Structure 1
């Protein structure tokens, strides 16, 4: 099979095209011809060696949509995704009508958004939800799912006017600038003078700290990343107690072994088929240009789910 292999740790430039033996499925696994492989920010971190580090050489990526030997179109998690063939754990069938980019957006990003709201934040009907980086991969789905789950008010943050317009198109009640300075004040103004019940944050650093200040009593801040690259903000347990607020963390990769983690995927596919959820497909890149796809992702030149096409 053809694959993109990381020959050493570093940036996207370390990827090189390689011919490798076809993977062999183990018990309960399924071999597929890859239609498309998803590109994630975590792939960049893995290349750097700072996230789920792997000895080199290795084939990055974790999500694939493809065809089984008997012709079924399925998607699932793969240990080596940037390749023309892959072995999937627990594959889920995908409707022919759903594009590869939109389908793959439901895997890591869609499941993450679902569990951020349901499992980690334990969103209750009528509560206000703030989604930081709401035009991003997880964010744009969290905005829509928060509405689907009965949130009383959904507020998205985004860095540009264009992205804020997109957030409004996705169904948010308000969209505000996500910078740390003045964050709590902008959130309160967008929430009719009240603080928020739930904040989902993957920015980290100063924005994480500002988001704590935007919480109402018994509010929950769920952190699931630190795209700002800023060091984690310290959390004072005394402050949490005084204000009756909570901080939780969520990482999909750390919960995949738990029963039920994958179950919402079928619901996400049904919501998409019914037109109630709009996963955004982004750019398609040839497999050999995986480095360019990652460079564009890192530079924030893209919107929607990026995929590689063998």
Structure 2
């Protein structure tokens, strides 16, 4: 079958189509004919071996797929790796039926980015009605969903960062109360201005480096910042414990992989997200579809921040 298999670590240039054996489902697994695979920013780290979990070669990237099982079920599944292919296997508890009213692209947006946004707001930062929320990369896969969920769940003011004027308009259309330039220089001041001169209660941060530092400086009393990525590939400055004590601030970390040991930590939120989408209350943004042969371009676009919403891969082309 056709698949993207990497035999060396590197950038988008190592992503090449190969002919590989078809996978075989073992005990407790299901075989899935892939209709669409999800493309995630984490995939760019996995391909260059800079992810939290180290990767072994050869590797077929791709952590999630939507497709049909051998008995005809339409499912969305988390597979860890192996998604950039015509077929893949998933452990049965991590393959969920997709309801009517939810498209393939929407299902892919929800299974990883959606559950991440859900946990960032509910598990990691415990959003309370009326609180202000800053969402970095508000036009991205997680950000576009987090903006909407924060509003649905009663946030008082939602501020989103985005890299271009077009993306800032998009996040305003999704319901953000304010959209600002995410450039690190002077970011703290822009955050405060967007929040009426006041520090923010919650920050969802996935850039790292100076963006993390500026965001923490804009955090109010009893504020919570959760970090769930490092898109800048830069480390933030160390934070002395006294800076946490003064203002009673919290820094949390979140990695969806830590939910994988318990499928209910994914299935429960996913069911809620499916319902919100099917009812029209939540609009997962599908930002682009790429042929399997164009996956390198998808990774280049992701790294250059040229994308919005969820990117999907069509293994039939």
Scaled to the shorter chain, the TM-score interval is over 0.9
Extract unaligned runs of 5+ from structure 1. Answer: none
- Distance between the aligned counterparts of 1:96 and 1:277, measured in 2? 15
Q: Work out whether residues 73 and 96 of structure 1, in 8 Å CA contact, stay in contact via their aligned partners in 2.
A: no
Moved more, 34-43 or 186-195: 186-195
Q: Distance in 1 between matches of 2:126 and 2:6?
A: 39
| Partner residue in 1 for 2:137 | 133
1:287 is aligned to 2:289? no
State the partner residue of 2:58: 57
CA distance in 2, matches of 1:16, 1:182: 41
Q: Structure 1 residue 231: deviation in Å?
A: 2.1
Aligned to 2:160: 156
1:307 matched to which residue of 2?
A: 312
Provide the rounded CA distance (Å) in 2 between the counterparts of 1:295 and 1:26.
35
Q: Name the stretch that deviates more: 111-120 or 15-24.
A: 15-24
CA distance in 1, matches of 2:164, 2:14: 32
Matching of residue 278 in structure 1 with residue 279 in structure 2: no
**RMSD, aligned CA:** 1.4
Q: Mapping of 1:75-224 within 5 angstroms?
A: 75-78=76-79, 79-89=81-91, 90-224=94-228
Match of 1:66 in 2: 67
Quote the residue 2:30 is aligned against: 30
The alpha carbon displacement at 1:96 in A equals 4.6
Gaps (5+ residues) in structure 2? none
Q: Match for residue 18 of structure 2?
A: 18
* Residue range with higher mean Cα deviation, 162-171 or 190-199: 190-199
Aligned equivalent of 2:239, options 232, 235, 241: 235
CA distance in 2, matches of 1:255, 1:95: 23
TM-superposed CA distance for 1:172, in Å, is 0.9
Equivalences, count: 310
What is the CA-CA distance between 1:135 and the residue it aligns to? 1.1
Q: Deviations over 1:120-176 (max 9, x none)?
A: 011111111111111111111000010111111111111221111111100011112
Deviation digits for residues 37-89 of structure 1 (CA, Å, limit 9, x no counterpart): 11111111111111132221111110000001122110011131111011123
Runs of 4+ in 1 over 3 A off after TM superposition: none
